[in-house]
Amino acid sequence: MFISRRLLRTTAFGIIGFGTLASLRANEYDLGSIGIVRLGRAAVKVFVIGRHYKNELYASKLTGDSPEYLDLKSRVHKFGAQKLLELCCENKGVYIKVGQHIGALDYLLPPEYVSTMRVLHSSAPQSCFKDVLTVIKEDFKKDPYEIFESIDPEPLGTASLAQVHKAVLKDGSVVAVKIQHRSVKTNSYVDIKTMSALVKITSLVFPDFKFDWLVDETKKNIPRELDFLQEGKNAEKVKSIFSHYHWLKIPKIYWDISSRRVLTMEFIDGGQVNDLKYIQNNNLNAYEVSSKLGRLYSHMIFIVGFVHSDPHPGNILVRKKNNEAEIVLLDHGLYADLSNEFRWEYSKLWLAIFNSDKNAMQTHCAKLGVPDLYGLLACMVSGRSWNAIMAGIQKTKYDVKEKQEFQKEIPLLLPEISNVLEKVNRQMLLILKTNDLVRSIEHNLKTESRMFGMLEMSKCCIHSVYGERLKLCTNTWISLKLSIAKQWSLFKLSLYYIYLGALNFNIKESIESLMNNNHYAF
């Protein structure tokens, strides 16, 4: 028995030692990159956060509804959020990706966490230029300067899994080169397992929350995002699908200088889509930008079911071309591929929300996996309060009062929201994230009042719902009646849009915008 235990112990240490050595070698003997160190960092941070909550908040004798308690809770949340941000920046890679996701969950986490983690959308830690050159050399088996005439050492942008550098090819073509962080793939598998364990520990700090869905989604999406050849294929697919949108630009892919870790594409200059100052300085119309963005994403979600699912501002550029706004779509690593059944059901839910039809909302939410908390799911989908939904979201503007009401209610419903995310159809998770990010862009552009996005979404929902009925219909006469009903619904929507323009804005401008926006190719 003694010999067996000794042998077992020796074997275990040998395996750990060999694994550690292999990990060190893969990461050029960077101690901070090996799994055991990354796991240790994560465990220490979680322990520090948990202890702080226990000592400062849970041990407090303040009552839950007193101003002093709320102030203390906010300070404790800020401490926890800052420690979590430090962990993401130290471990990088998958941790940054999860941190970015947290930064988009306005409806799930305390605002202190969301606002703190949101910084990762625009300023993720970068790899050194030496590592960038090493990845290129490893993937193409030649010196990078045999491929490129020059490469700018300073990245144009840095994300969780990669960073982009401007370069010039031997023929003088200017390109953008996306290079994966060197150790991110090696570390990702260990990181996901670590996160799974940390989620269970976190549930002790937040006992009402269920975060398993976040780990599951990360586990499913990361391998897809780490394959840059698949990203190139996604870019070409979306370029083909939306070729009729002359104002949409997808960068050309240079396949002969691309691999699983390096993606070379056409360099395109422009301003971030939420940069209102850039838009105004370049004589662009913010409402036109918002309208085109709403049309593009509504078409993706409700009509084709192939949805660009990381629309944070760094991934969407805007520029002036031929006197109009051109939208440039970047970073095609993550797409939601929606089934027809989900797309049709989701469209019906939106029409039920537009029509303030409580019974229909309950029916379609049940089919999407949430039969009991249908009102909450409707609020999460639309980003509007229940009072606004029942009053008619197409009739009521989203104002400061409603926003304050919404933000006041969210903290009281966090366990229920977590429950919804645990139960809802998995295809909904990326859509909720996409909706929130697009709404955030509209908010920064100050275009919510005109409800362009709502108009575009309504059109696409009508096309989707009637498209399903026509597809399943075998009777010629009924098909004709459905086609007429569809056109009548679209006509009524157009009249309503003109009415809104006459009521609040310029009727001539509304009619011109309607004519420009009515060229769908379904």
| Under 8 Å between Cβ of 293 and 316 | yes
Q: What is the 3-state secondary structure (H, E, C) of 226-290?
A: CCHHHHHHHHHHHHHHCCCCCCEECCCECHHHCCCCEEEEECCCCEECCCHHHHHHCCCCHHHHH
Q: What is the 3-state secondary structure (H, E, C) of 36-105?
A: HHHHHHHHHHHHHHHHHHHHHHHCCCCCCCCHHHHHHHHHHHHHHHHHHHHHHHHHCCHHHHHHHHHCCC
Helices (H), 93-174: 94-102, 111-117, 129-140, 144-147
As beta bridge partners, residue 249 has: 328
Joined tokens for residue 180: 């994966």
Q: What is the largest CA-CA distance in the chain?
A: 90
Catalytic residue check, 331? no
| Under 8 Å between Cβ of 271 and 318 | yes
- φ/ψ bin of 302: left (φ > 0), alpha (ψ from -120 to 50), beta (otherwise): alpha
Single-letter amino acid, residue 80: G
Catalytic: which of 139, 191, 310, 331? 310
d(CA 107, CA 85): 19
Residues noted as catalytic: 310
